[in-house]
């Protein structure tokens, strides 16, 4: 895979958490009838900043909840909302809307030295 292909892959909104500065990972999630992407990849032990943009007014998507992290956020329509997490352990973590109807997954990979 070329450098250009790697950059292009990481540039897709939310597909994989990207580096911003030295340790911060970032991902963007669009909400319109579901989460896009519905799976986010990140590395353990590094802060993760998620930016949600809700492109609808359906009441179901008003809130995003990360139960394993004890975090949630209200998502006003057509506004960006940032939520920060520190995924310390590798694993798969579900996130949902406040009603539990919309579902997504945060896949945290083990920390790799030099990551």
Q: How far apart are CA 82 and CA 101, in angstroms?
A: 21
74: DSSP letter: E
Q: Name the superfamily (CATH) of residues 3-109.
A: Cupredoxins -  blue copper proteins (2.60.40.420)
Mean pLDDT for the chain overall: 86
pLDDT over threshold 70, residue 18: no
The model's pTM:
0.79
DSSP-assigned beta bridge partners for residue 90: none
Query: Residue for token digits 């030099």?
Result: 114
Torsion region of 29: left, alpha or beta (phi above 0 gives left; psi -120 to 50 gives alpha): beta
pLDDT over threshold 60, residue 46: yes
77: DSSP letter: B
Burial class of 29 by CB neighbour count within 10 A (0 to 12, 13 to 18, 19+): buried
């Amino acid at each position: 895979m070329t450098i250009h292909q790697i950059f292009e892959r990481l540039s897709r909104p939310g597909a994989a958490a990207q580096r911003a500065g030295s340790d911060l990972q970032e991902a963007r999630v669009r909400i319109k009838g579901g989460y896009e992407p519905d799976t986010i990849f990140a590395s353990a032990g590094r802060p993760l900043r998620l930016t949600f943009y809700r492109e609808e007014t359906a009441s179901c998507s008003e809130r995003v909840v990360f139960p394993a992290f004890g975090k949630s956020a209200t998502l006003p329509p057509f506004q960006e909302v940032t939520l920060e997490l520190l995924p310390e352990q590798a694993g798969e973590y579900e996130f949902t809307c406040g009603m539990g109807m919309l579902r997504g997954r945060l896949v945290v990979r083990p920390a790799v030295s030099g990551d």
